[in-house]
């Protein structure tokens, strides 16, 4: 670039400068440095082409932005093929302009609303909801997914999915839609009802545990002081430790074998959750039954256990009522109930007992719940017509918040 200009002017300038330096030092002659006024000569030598300096400036401006743009575009090209779940890892690295430009490329979340499902699938799912509620109430409140890896392949015994497919198939058969096969979205919709079902029970347990078991919220203390607050927290902590051994008895402070599993809160939760005035539709889940299943009682008891454990620090700190957290405790409680049942059966069969304590209690629970149910409809109405659905928990959450002083 500009090589011709350097040949015509640069060499002469350098030579003149060198000799001028010698002359100035030796002979006292004045050194005349080459002037940049020679530039017009350069233009003439280049036959009217742009000056070398202009060419260099133009080239520099043109290349550098291209290079920078190319570097900025690489993260965007890479992220187009990334899993959308990984976006959070890179969000802090991208500038705001790049992030905004990539927003439209993100995968849209699929709607989990049943209104987004095809009409025939929606009809089946709606018919399957009551069926899975019955299964959760009486048979499998904590369905399990057991995944094992065998060699290069993964196999699973999925009790959860089998349960969902079973109720979907039954609902499709009743609606004469046997040719409709369940989709993954159908399975997700029905499956999402399971944690909601358990959450409703836990909400009631959390609401009533403090009064039933004498746990005091420090926010309700009158004229609290640091000393009185700490004293109450310590009292709550000590109370929880004691309750974890006695909460199943009718009176946790005065236990006896005849009052085991008979605390009043168990009856209260059963009555309100399955037979309450707002939820009478659910009473049909116990049609033709003469007693409450031990599975149902174990589910209620473990929900109460979870609500008590929330007070372990002296304050009520929410704990998730999930399969992972409470399935093992549920199994232990159910095992104890069945031992109690076996003991009662043995007392009648071998020792001439006049009453079976376990069976009598199961019958009493159901009989009392039915007697306390108000406005019991003669026939079951269709879900969603003039009543609150079992899984529409907004009202229950509002009730819990109002009674616990939390929003």
Residue 300 pLDDT more than 90? Answer: yes
Residue % of the chain over a pLDDT of 90: 40
Residue 43 pLDDT more than 90? Answer: no
- Determine the pLDDT at residue 189: 86
- Determine the pLDDT at residue 15: 45
Residue % of the chain over a pLDDT of 70: 58
- Determine the pLDDT at residue 94: 44
Average pLDDT over residues 158-162: 83
- Contact, 237 vs 313, CB < 8 A? yes
Spatial distance between the Cα atoms of 368 and 362, rounded to a whole number of angstroms: 10
Q: Which of helix, strand or coil describes residue 234?
A: helix
Residue 272 pLDDT more than 50? Answer: yes
Average pLDDT over residues 165-187: 88
- Contact, 352 vs 366, CB < 8 A? no
- Residues forming beta bridges with residue 147, ordered by sequence position: 156
- Determine the pLDDT at residue 41: 47
Q: Which of helix, strand or coil describes residue 351?
A: helix
- Provide φ and ψ at 155, rounded to 5°: -120, 160
pLDDT tier at 373, thresholds 50, 70, 90 = confident
Q: What pLDDT digit, counting tens, does each position of 200-251 carry?
A: 999 999 999 999 999 999 999 999 999 999 999 999 999 999 999 999 999 9
CB atoms within 10 A of CB 139: 12
- Determine the pLDDT at residue 329: 97
- Determine the pLDDT at residue 303: 98
Residue 58 pLDDT more than 80? Answer: no
Residue 157 pLDDT more than 50? Answer: yes
Residues 6+ apart with CB under 8 A from 1: 52, 55, 56, 59
- Provide φ and ψ at 249, rounded to 5°: -85, 155
Spatial distance between the Cα atoms of 47 and 42, rounded to a whole number of angstroms: 9
- Contact, 143 vs 291, CB < 8 A? no
pLDDT tier at 21, thresholds 50, 70, 90 = very low
């Amino acid at each position: 670039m500009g090589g011709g200009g350097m040949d015509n002017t640069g060499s002469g300038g350098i030579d003149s400068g060198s000799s001028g330096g010698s002359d100035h030092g030796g002979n006292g002659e004045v050194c005349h440095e080459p002037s940049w006024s020679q530039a017009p000569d350069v233009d003439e030598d280049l036959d009217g082409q742009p000056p070398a300096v202009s060419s260099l400036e133009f080239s520099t401006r043109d290349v550098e932005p291209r290079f920078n743009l190319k570097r900025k575009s690489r993260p965007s090209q890479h992220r187009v093929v990334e899993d959308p779940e990984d976006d959070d890892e890179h969000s802090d690295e991208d500038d705001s302009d790049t992030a905004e430009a990539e927003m439209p490329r993100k995968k849209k979340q699929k709607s989990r609303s049943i209104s987004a499902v095809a009409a025939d699938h929606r009809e089946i799912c709606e018919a399957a909801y009551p069926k899975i509620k019955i299964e959760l109430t009486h048979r499998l409140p904590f369905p399990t997914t057991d995944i094992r890896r065998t060699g290069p392949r993964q196999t699973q015994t999925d009790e959860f999915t089998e349960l969902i497919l079973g109720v979907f198939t039954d609902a499709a058969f009743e609606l004469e839609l046997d040719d409709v096969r369940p989709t993954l979205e159908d399975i997700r919709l029905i499956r999402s009802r399971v944690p909601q079902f358990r959450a409703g029970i836990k909400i009631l347990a959390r609401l009533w545990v403090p009064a039933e078991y004498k746990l005091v919220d420090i926010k309700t203390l009158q004229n609290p002081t640091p000393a009185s607050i700490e004293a109450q927290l310590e009292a709550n902590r000590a109370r929880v430790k004691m309750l974890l051994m006695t909460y199943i008895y009718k009176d946790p402070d005065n236990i006896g074998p005849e009052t085991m599993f008979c605390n009043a809160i168990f009856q209260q939760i059963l009555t309100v959750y399955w037979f309450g005035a707002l939820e009478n539709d659910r009473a049909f889940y116990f049609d033709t039954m003469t007693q409450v299943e031990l599975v149902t009682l174990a589910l209620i008891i473990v929900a109460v256990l979870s609500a008590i454990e929330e007070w372990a620090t002296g304050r009520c700190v929410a704990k998730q009522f999930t399969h992972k957290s409470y399935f093992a405790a549920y199994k232990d409680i159910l095992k104890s109930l069945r031992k109690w049942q076996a003991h009662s059966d043995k007392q009648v069969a071998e020792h001439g007992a006049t009453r079976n304590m376990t069976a009598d209690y199961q019958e009493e629970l159901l009989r009392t719940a039915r007697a306390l149910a108000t406005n019991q409809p003669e026939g079951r109405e269709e879900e969603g017509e003039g009543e609150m659905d079992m899984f529409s928990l907004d009202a229950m959450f509002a009730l819990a918040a109002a009674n616990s002083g939390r929003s």
